[in-house]
Amino acid sequence: MATEDAPTSPGRVLVVDDDKDTLLLIGMTLQRAGYEVFRASSGAQALELLGAAEPDVIVLDIMMPEMNGLELLRRLQVKFTWPPPVVFLTAKSQISDRVQGLEAGAFRYLTKPSPKDVLLETVKEAVAEKRGRPRLTGRW
């Protein structure tokens, strides 16, 4: 008798935003698309969740108190040889902000509000990017 394979998630996403409504909305959007979602309301909380979450991608706000998204990205780059791709999702919409985010190493830079289909396609691309890279033993 053939056994059915359990459905698999298209990926694991860590969403980081200090705005609780945005955190809930983005998380629900990704969950409805089948992603396994972890939420953090600060950069420090995101760093604590990384080991347990093992995200394929991080959706990250830039404007957060204490540790902004750019600082969190820098810390990830120091901590991991191959950090998960970071998709900035932020209200900072100036061209100079976008350039700064991409030069800092973000996979993509989206501005709020971003259409749901654009966010989902961007996350899908980021997961594919992450899964295409080799993993180092003991890094997660």
16-41 pLDDT, tens digit each: 999 999 999 999 999 999 999 999 99
Q: Is the pLDDT of residue 129 over 60?
A: yes
Give the DSSP H/E element, type plus range, for residue 37: strand 36-40
**Is residue 137 one of the residues assigned to a domain?**
no
**Is residue 82 one of the residues assigned to a domain?**
yes
- The predicted pLDDT at position 79 comes to 84
Give 70's contacts (C-beta < 8 A, 6+ positions apart).
62, 100, 101, 104
Coil, helix or strand for 60? strand
**Is residue 99 one of the residues assigned to a domain?**
yes
Whether 10 contacts 127, CB under 8 Å: yes
**Is residue 6 one of the residues assigned to a domain?**
no
Q: What is the CATH number of the domain that holds 25?
A: 3.40.50.2300
**Is residue 103 one of the residues assigned to a domain?**
yes
Whether 82 contacts 139, CB under 8 Å: yes
